[in-house]
Amino acid sequence: MASSQPIPATRARSRMQRFFASEFFHNYKRNLSAVLGSLIVLGFLVMVTIGPLIVSQNPYDVSQLDLMAAFKPPAWLAGGSSEYWLGTDGQGRDVLASIVYGSRISLIIGLVAMGGACLLGTTLGLIAGFYGGRLDAVIMRIADIQLSFPSVLTALFLMSAFGTGLDKVLIALISVGWVVYARTVRGSTLRETQKEYVQAARVSGLPNRKIILRHVLPNVLTPLIVVATIQVGTFVLIEASLSFLGVGVPVTQPSLGLLIKNGFDVLFSGLWWVSIFPGLFIMLLVFGINLLGDFLRDELNPRLK
Amino acid sequence: MSQSVKDPAKPLLEVRQLEQRFDVSGSFFDRLRIAGGRISAPRRIVHAVNGVSLAVKRGEVLGIVGESGCGKSTLAKTIVKLHEPTGGQILIEGEDITRHDFARMRPVRKKLQMIFQDPYASLNPRQKVRDIIMEPFLESQAGPVPDIADRALALLAKVGLGIEHLDRYPHQFSGGQRQRIGIARALSVQPDLIIADEPVSALDVSIQAQILNLLMDLKDEFGFSYLFITHDLSVVRYISDRIGVMYLGFMVETGPTRTIFAEPKHPYTRALLAAAPQLGTKLGPASEQVGGEVPSAIDLPRGCPFRQRCPLAFARCAEERPELRPVGGGQAVACHLHEPATEPALAAT
Amino acid sequence: MSNNEQHSKPLLRVQELRTWFYTFGGLVKAVDGVSFDLAPGEIMGLVGESGGGKSMIGFSIMGLIDPPGRIEGGRIEFNGKNIAGLSEDEMRVIRGKEIAMIFQDPMTALNPLYTIGNQIEETLALHTALSARERRAKAIEMLHKVGIPQPEQRLSHYPHQFSGGMRQRVVIAIAMIAKPRLLIADEPTTALDVTIQAQLLRLMRQQVVENGTSMILITHDLAAVSQMADTIVVLYCGRIVEKGPAEDIIARPRHPYTRGLIDSIPHETAENDGPKQRLSQIPGNVPDIRKLPPGCAFAPRCSRASERCRMQDPVLMEHNAIAMGSGKLRPHAVACHHPLAVSP
């Protein structure tokens, strides 16, 4: 009998090649807003990874700051310096450098919190949908209660209870964000467990744990891609609101939101650039993420096709 | 196949007075009714299977036929314990598995496999064929298994697929090929009994014949039995040794295939046979006048479940539910018309 | 128009119809050069397996082809006028009044938010000048005709309050109420049980005969078609492989595919005491319609295929057949290089 090796012919075409030949990529290429969105997001990712190596100063290294250069306007205005493209703040921090570092913190918070919320929500949603009954009722009622509060308010409560700090922000965001995964996953789990392949796994004698991990989980993940993408944007905004309200990240780790707050005090003294530029960057980031999310929703939701 | 030590007298599968009910009333608040100034919270119970008894011998094909909602699919799924039976007994080679928990079911699962109706829903879209077909086998083994790939290949060959299919995903196959994969999965543990729930009804006619032939070839090769659930009379006639006709969760008639088709006794069986479209005969005027539709399984009618549609119903049918009784020649029927009218009291036990 | 003329002229003439779909995976020639005539009052069965293109013919006639599909060529003459490529507004006048359609799933044809009374009367309001009271009376009469008990009360019920079979009766009532000249039924009984199926087939035939309506019955169920139809058209991969009088096609199929379909149905003679005979089967699978082989599309699955079949497309050629009973010559056409012999 022939030995059973994987068939080289199908393997010859790499994953990458198959992706570029796929309908998904074909539609992506022709969708201007999807391309724009992903370019923006990609731009931010590049900026936060290699940006700190390029910008002239580390705005949080006091030794690099020059108080003499405080409140310099952007380079193209009178009194501006080509050293500080987007001007400086009251401590002589380069606004552009602050934005690069701030975006890094904002994005890390958004991504980590999204990951945590996704993990928690997916686990709870799988349990609720698969086992049903009382467990399901309890989990989903908690989710309902959670949803009846505005998310910023919930986060604000939690922050005032636990205090501020990066970890507290993450906890607040995760406890706000898990619900959407739990509900989505529970719905898909209910649908998938009705399908015959799950029944076949039961008939084969698979324990529930294996059925959930091997059969249900892989089949409920696709809709989460959309939720997760958009949620990164939402989290960046919530975190910015919290920081703006003074209950977010500590001043030593300023996010884009904290930058806006810092500049807000001097906004009406004509020193607009200190908070407007971070604001524009938040807007751009969330805009890009949402464009990408919309495209993914159209592509991955079979009902819209 | 090792079946030498088995007791041939005992049926492979025996089902006694099996009953399956589902509470579909929902939560307390869903049930809450206010009628006539009184608050009540009635339960809504679907009586899916009502006291069904059957036996499948080794190497035998028992066909269960009936229309949608007659409980045939629930019967199949209860026998493999996808549902916990609410009453009655299920015996595999004499072993009562009715109340078996997960751990005690594990060895039984090797004897009992299932083929499903929908080839598009019965395979996990994220699994490769090699993983799909080997899953029941790997689950039944304690430790790691050598030569998994060779075993997988041998299985695929049995169902007419080849090495090139091993690493593909279900969406790359047609309906008929998918059903072959589902059959390979059931074969992997070398079961004694395969429960086939409408295995060909989702397939095109020409593919149906292929799959039916395959199922019969495999049975001849491995000697297992089928419990074959279908709504299609021509299919059940072709594949079964014996037939059970179900209506509204009741077994209304059983018997050898030839007898059932030649001399159907129950009025419902007759109506079913008369309604089946025959190739090349023009649709005549309605002959056996069975009008109306299947009543709800939530409020079972009193007496005979078929009486409201039955052209021959009489007073007794509304009062007393007929039991399935042998009428000779291996045939049994649940109908008051076919009872010796002289001994109704005796038969009531 | 005199009576005689009406009988000689077809109600529907489909000529070289091509309905193609431009999908990402390639060009799908769902209907590729299909021609047939349908006489007034005639019941025609359109049979084939999934992917055969039978539903797309119905959709094309109804003007319901949406992108990425389009009618690429050919004519659909209804009552002497080409309706292929009419605008949506022009089609809307014909749909429902002149041509009605019944689908497999009655729920798609009924709006769950309106009572069935609303829905039947709406059809009347669209296509007739009846008053509200007359419409209601007509709706009750129609429900009665399709065998719905207590039609007065049922008018105010919603679709979910009906069983599957009753819903399909309502759909038939809506389809027939404007007395259309053509009824297209796409797998109308596939989702229903055999006992209900027989009831509905009878009902449809009775309605069609009563109104002199022509009917196209689209189905995969050869037995149901043979019970209903005057003529049968067999499709494979978007093309007609055989067409002719129903009895003739069933009793003396000339295309190997038709023969295979008929033989695939487990039939009564297969029962005997000994080991079961194998069913005769068509080997292989329906090919991917985007990658059809050259020549006859059925050749890879055909035991009679020759080198010629794999090179050259067979054309639909007429052989005259004697329709059973009538003794009249009626055309029986087959697209095959090696048709089966006409032995009785």
In-domain check, residue C197: yes
Distance (Å) from the alpha carbon of B142 to chain C's nearest alpha carbon: 38
- The C-alpha of C191 sits at a distance from chain A's nearest C-alpha, in angstroms, of 19
The helix/strand/coil state of A177 is helix
First and final CA of chain B: distance in angstroms?
Answer: 42
| Interface contact flag, B139 A205, Cβ < 8 Å | yes
Q: Tell me the nearest-neighbour CA distance from C67 into chain A, angstroms.
A: 12
Provide the pLDDT for residue C320: 65
pTM of the model: 0.85
Q: What is the pLDDT of residue A302?
A: 55
pLDDT digit string, tens, across residues A30-73: 889 999 999 999 999 998 888 888 877 777 777 777 777 777 77
Give the pLDDT confidence of A252-276 residue by residue, as tens digits. 788 888 888 888 888 787 778 878 8
Chosen for mutation from C24, C66, C290 (greatest number of chain A CBs closer than 10 Å) is C24
pLDDT exceeds cutoff 90 at A285: yes
Each residue of B15-62: pLDDT tens digit?
Answer: 999 999 998 877 777 777 777 777 877 788 889 999 999 999 999 999
The mean of the pLDDT values for chain A is 85
Give me the pLDDT at residue B202, please. 87
Query: Of all helices (H) and strands (E), which one includes residue B251?
Result: strand B250-256
Give how far A97 is from chain B: nearest CA, Å: 45
Interface with chain C: mutation pick from B283, B306, B310, highest number of C CBs within 10 Å? B283
Give chain C's mean pLDDT: 86
For the cut 60, the answer to whether the pLDDT of residue B113 exceeds it is yes
Output the pLDDT for position A153.
86
From the CB of residue A11, how many other CB atoms can be counted at a distance below 10 Å?
Answer: 11
Whether C271 and B258 lie within 8 Å, measured CB to CB: yes
What distance in Å separates the CA atoms of residue A126 and residue A120, rounded to the nearest whole number? 10
- In a 3-state reduction of DSSP, which class is residue C137? helix
Mean pLDDT, rounded, for A241-257: 84
Q: Say yes or no for a CB contact (<8 Å) between A26 and C25.
A: no
Determine, yes or no, domain membership for C273.
no
Does residue C325 come out as left (phi exceeding 0), alpha (psi in the -120 to 50 range) or beta? left
Please give, rounded to a whole number of angstroms, the shortest distance from the CA of A209 to a CA of chain B.
13
What is the torsion angle, in degrees rounded to the nearest 10, for the CA atoms of residue C306, residue C307, residue C311 and residue C314? Answer: -20
> Are C271 and B257 an interchain contact pair (Cβ–Cβ within 8 Å)?
yes
The one-letter code for the residue type at C327 is G
Q: How confident is the model at residue C269 (pLDDT cuts 50, 70, 90)?
A: low
Could you tell me the fold of the domain covering B10-25+44-111+191-277?
Answer: Rossmann fold (3.40.50)
ipTM for the complex shown: 0.85
- Going by pLDDT thresholds of 50, 70 and 90, the confidence category of residue C180 is very high
CATH number of the domain that residue C99 is part of: 3.40.50.300
Partner-chain contact A26 C24, CB within 8 Å: yes
Residues of C in contact with B206 (CB under 8 A): 49, 260-261, 264, 281-282
> A200-222 pLDDT, tens per residue?
999 998 999 999 999 999 999 98
B1 has pLDDT over 60: no
More confident residue, B311 or C272: B311
In a domain, C339, yes or no: no
Q: Which residues of A touch B150 (CB under 8 A)?
A: 1, 3-4
- pLDDT at C66 (0 to 100): 87
Mean pLDDT, all residues of chain B: 87
Q: Which residues contact C105 (CB under 8 A, 6 or more apart)?
A: C191
The neighbours of chain C, by the rule of 3 or more Cβ pairs under 8 Å, are: A, B
Domain that holds residue C127: 3-266+280-334
Chain C environment of B237 (Cβ under 8 Å): 266, 268, 270-271
- Nearest-CB residue to A197 (from B82, B124, B139): B124
Residue C169 amino acid letter: R
Beta strands in chain C (DSSP E): 12-23, 26-38, 43-47, 69-78, 81-82, 99-102, 182-186, 214-219, 231-236, 239-245, 317-322, 329-334
Q: How far is A304 from chain C (nearest CA, A)?
A: 15
Q: Say yes or no for a CB contact (<8 Å) between B113 and A195.
A: no
Q: Find the CB nearest B82 among A1, A5, A202.
A: A202
Interface of A with C (CB under 8 A): 23, 26
Please indicate, yes or no, if residue C164 is contained in any of the structural domains.
yes
| Pick from C193, C251, C266: CB nearest B212 | C266
DSSP string, C245-298: EHHHHHHS--SHHHHHHHHHS--GGG--SSSPPPPP---S-PPPGGGPPSS-TT
Residue-by-residue DSSP string for A94-152: BHHHHHHHHHHHHHHHHHHHHHHHHHHHHHHHHHHHHH-HHHHHHHHHHHHHHHTS-HH
Q: How many CB pairs under 8 A join A and B?
A: 80
For residue C155, is it within any domain?
Answer: yes
Task: Quote the number of domains for chain C.
Answer: 1
Share of chain B above pLDDT 90, in %: 61
> Does C342 reside within a domain?
no
Q: Quote the pLDDT of residue C5.
A: 42
| Nearest C-alpha in B relative to C197 | B275
Q: Tell me what percent of the residues of chain A surpass a pLDDT of 90.
A: 41
Structure tokens at A282: 């938040």
Give the A:C interface size as CB pairs under 8 Å: 3
Query: So what's the pLDDT on residue C238?
Result: 92
Question: A26 to chain C: which residues are within 8 Å by CB?
Answer: 24
- The beta-carbon contacts of A132-138 under 8 Å, at least 24 apart in sequence, are A136/A186
Judged by average pLDDT, the poorest of A184-188, C11-15, C158-162 is C158-162
CB distance from C224 to chain B under 8 Å? yes
Q: Does C25 touch chain A (CB under 8 A)?
A: yes
| Any B CB within 8 A of A54 CB | no
Report residue B6's pLDDT band, with 50, 70 and 90 as the boundaries. low
Residue C98 placed within a domain: yes
- Which pLDDT belongs to residue B342? 40
Give me the pLDDT at residue B289, please.
60
The token pair that represents A256 in the structure block: 């884009």
Query: Which chain A residue shows the shortest CA-CA distance from B157?
Result: A1
Q: A205 to chain B: nearest residue by CA? A: B106
**Residue ranges of chain B whose CB lies within 8 Å of a chain A CB:** 77, 80, 82, 102, 105-106, 109, 112-114, 116-118, 121-127, 135-136, 139-140, 149-150, 152-154, 163-164, 166-168, 182, 185, 189
Which chains form contacts with chain A, at 3 or more CB pairs under 8 Å? B, C
Best residue in A196, A214, A222 for a mutation probing chain B (most B CBs within 10 Å): A196
Q: In this model, does residue C198 exceed pLDDT 90?
A: no
What is the domain partition of chain B in residue ranges?
10-25+44-111+191-277, 126-189
- Would the pLDDT of B341 be above 80? no
Contact C194 B238 (CB under 8 A): no
Give φ, ψ of C172 to 5 degrees: -65, -40
Q: What is the pLDDT of residue B224?
A: 92
Write out residues 168-227 of B within 8 Å (CB-CB) of C: 174-177, 204-210, 212-213, 216-217, 220
**Are C194 and B257 a contacting pair at CB < 8 A?**
no
Distance from CA of A23 to the nearest CA of C (A): 6
What number is the average pLDDT over the span C136-154? 89
pLDDT tens-digit map of B243-290: 999 999 999 999 999 999 999 999 999 988 888 888 877 777 665 567
Looking at beta carbons, which residues of chain B come within 8 Å of A200?
114, 116, 122, 182, 185
pLDDT at C268: 62
Domains contained in chain A, CATH given: 32-76+97-274 (1.10.3720.10)
Q: Is B23 helix (H, G, I), strand (E, B) or coil?
A: strand
How many angstroms separate the CA atoms of A104 and A64, rounded?
19
Given CB atoms, is C67 within the 8 Å cutoff of chain A? no
Does any CB of chain B come closer than 8 Å to the CB of residue C341?
Answer: no
Taking the C-alpha atoms of residue A41 and residue A60, their distance in angstroms, rounded to an integer, is 25
Chain C contacts in chain B segment 1-30 (CB below 8 A)? none
* Per-residue pLDDT band at C325 (split at 50, 70, 90): low
- pLDDT at residue A1 tops 70: no
- Per-residue pLDDT of B142-169, as tens digits, reads 878 888 889 999 999 999 999 999 999 9
Q: Which of B75-89, C89-103, C217-231, C276-290 has the lowest mean pLDDT?
A: C276-290
Give the pair of three-digit tokens for residue B33: 């009714």
Residue of A nearest to C23 (CA): A23
